Amino acid sequence: MAEYRLRTPLSDEDVEKLRVGDIVYVSGIMVTARDEAHKKVLETIEAGGKLPIDLRGLVLYHCGPVARKRPDGTWEIVAAGPTTSMRMESVEAEFIEKTGVKMVVGKGGMGQRTAEAMRKHKAVYAVFTGGAGALAANAIKRVVDVYWLDELGIPEALWVFEVEDFGPLVVTIDSTGRNYYAERMEEVKRNAQKIVEELLKKPIP
Amino acid sequence: MSVSRETLESLFYTMAKTAVTRIPVDVYEALKAAREREDNPLARAQLDAILKNIEIACSTTRPICQDTGTPYLFLEIGDEFPLRSQVVEAAKEGIRRATREGYLRPNAVDPVYFKNSGDNTGRFIPWVHVDLVPGDSLRVHLMMKGGGSEAPSTLVMSTPLKGWENVKRAAVEAVANAGPLPCPPVIVSVAVAAGADIATSLAKRALLRPIGERHPDPKVARIEEELLDALNKLGLGPHGFGGKTSVLDVKFEYAHRHPATFAIAVITSCWATRRVEALVTRDGEARILSKHLLPTPGGGCAPGVPQVEG
């Protein structure tokens, strides 16, 4: 378990040295996308259109922030913790392939299709502490831009954040395709079977 | 003088804002204790981040989590309390104000017309539970229930003969199968009843009980302790990184069942369990009863009872 401080744009080399269990603090540009923004990014690319921002080497963040507009028209990010990444599992492999993001940040882990895409395209998945919306907001230095706000609304829009030492992020899928949560959950489910057997031996209290 | 609509609106606004920005002291203490006994470094790092997050939220009056939840109201309305039919409308107004001021993320989505109401109120939202009690005051609990921790929600319509076996199985499997999704360490609430709705409703309400408080019936208390002990052997740990604390507490509640039914509900609440309790007298004194982590003048945080804001 090593600790790294990385700055975007991330290179293949930056990503390839990371292993599951490593802790990362990232600085630079993070771009948010949840369900609807994933769909719109892929539809735009499919239609031969141009994305509002080039995502190559950047960090994709599964997040729907609480944001409020200051009197001067700039945005304040009030809370910005991660959302459940598995909802994006069906589209993430294609997203990584087509956009060139090097790191995906969310919560709860992702599945084997994403892990395989990360092995193939040299990317990693890392989790930020679920629920830690205030800690995340503290690391967001400013909102560089926001796209598709009118169409998708605050939680679903594509927010471009400039961040400083955003973390701790724990790598749970590395660029070898190893999936920490998949291994852990097998262990937890084995434990669960043993625990149930033990409980069933005991009478009702 | 009799209690006014404005008093109720100010109280509910304060409750909503308090719920999402200031963690209840029992939750904070339980997370701190979990951090103290943890020796798995990844689990410890998660608990450190959680505690730091709670303190930042407190000192900056920002939401603890960007998912500020769905509002649940639990009302105990006294016979002589005035304005009874206005309580829910006043709660809606307080919640709307807390949303307008940027403390709550708009979370009420119409599933038929695909539209977010934008103010955290809507059809049957807030969800309201009413108990009619003697006296002339109103006691109210507001729970802002996170969406992610609804994931493990389980309902088992057991045969009565397999009832207790299925209680144990359902509780363990709900937590194990959901893994990191509900943001563990979670609070687990289990209820047994005649019907599905009674079981889920009782389980949700039992989440209002403070962490560490055992059921007054000693037999039920032992069931809670046995499940708590068993669930913490899962090795799931904070956000699934292993370690000693997978659940902060287990609550158990029950209703008399039908001879043919044994409905079992398992409901969980994330580490960011957000609830506030308050009391309003008939002459308009409104105060919060629950203790929360509050900012101190020196820039730190300390336990205290929040004041109702105007």
| B139, B238: one domain | no
A29, A31, A38, A181: the active-site residue:
A38
Task: Considering only the beta carbons, identify the residue of A21, A86, A134 that sits closest to B53.
Answer: A134
Asked, for residue B45, whether it belongs to a domain, the answer is no
Asked, for residue B106, whether it belongs to a domain, the answer is yes
| B191, B287: one domain | no
Note whether A202 contacts B226, CB cutoff 8 Å: yes
Query: Cβ(B299)–Cβ(B160) under 8 Å?
Result: no
A62 counts as catalytic: no
Residues near B112 by beta carbon (within 8 Å), at least 6 away in sequence: none
| B213, B134: one domain | no
| B113, B102: one domain | yes
| B127, B159: one domain | no
| B65, B138: one domain | yes
Task: Considering only the beta carbons, identify the residue of B41, B53, B222 that sits closest to A129.
Answer: B53
Q: So where are chain A's domains?
A: 3-179
Domain that holds residue B162: 148-269
Q: pLDDT for A140-164, tens place per residue? A: 999 999 999 999 988 899 999 999 9
Asked, for residue B309, whether it belongs to a domain, the answer is no
**pTM to 2 decimal places:** 0.95
| B91, B159: one domain | no
| B184, B238: one domain | yes
Q: Which residue of B has its CA nearest to A129?
A: B46
The band of B152, judged by pLDDT with boundaries at 50, 70 and 90, is: confident
Domain spanning A3-179, CATH architecture: Alpha-Beta Barrel (3.20)
| B189, B265: one domain | yes
In terms of DSSP bridges, do strands A103-106 and A124-128 run parallel, antiparallel, or are they unpaired? Answer: parallel
Domains held by chain B: number: 2
| Chain position carrying tokens 């979670």 | B186
**Tens-digit pLDDT profile for chain A (205 aa)?**
899 999 999 999 999 999 999 999 999 999 999 999 999 999 999 999 999 999 999 999 999 998 989 999 999 999 999 999 999 999 999 999 999 999 999 999 999 999 999 999 999 999 999 999 999 999 999 999 999 999 998 889 999 999 999 999 999 999 999 999 999 999 999 999 999 999 999 988 7
Residue A55: per-residue pLDDT: 98
| B102, B155: one domain | no
Task: Considering only the beta carbons, identify the residue of B56, B65, B240 that sits closest to A184.
Answer: B240
| B297, B214: one domain | no
Query: Cβ(A110)–Cβ(A185) under 8 Å?
Result: no
| Chain position carrying tokens 């101190």 | B296
Residues of B in contact with A19 (CB under 8 A): none
ipTM over 0.90: yes
Confirm or reject contact between A150 and chain B (CB < 8 A). no
b/e per residue A76-115 (b: at least 16 CB within 10 A): bbbbbbbbbbbbbeebbbbbbebbbbbbbbbbbbbbeebb
Asked, for residue B44, whether it belongs to a domain, the answer is no
Query: Cβ(B129)–Cβ(B275) under 8 Å?
Result: no
Note whether B223 contacts A80, CB cutoff 8 Å: no
Interface test mutation site (partner A, options B46, B48, B66, max chain A beta carbons within 10 A): B66
Between CA B244 and CA B226 the distance in angstroms is 16
Note whether A189 contacts B105, CB cutoff 8 Å: no
| B86, B138: one domain | yes
For residue B79, the distance in angstroms to the closest alpha carbon of chain A comes to 39
Note whether B63 contacts A130, CB cutoff 8 Å: no
Asked, for residue B278, whether it belongs to a domain, the answer is yes
For residue B49, the distance in angstroms to the closest alpha carbon of chain A comes to 7
Residue B238: per-residue pLDDT: 98
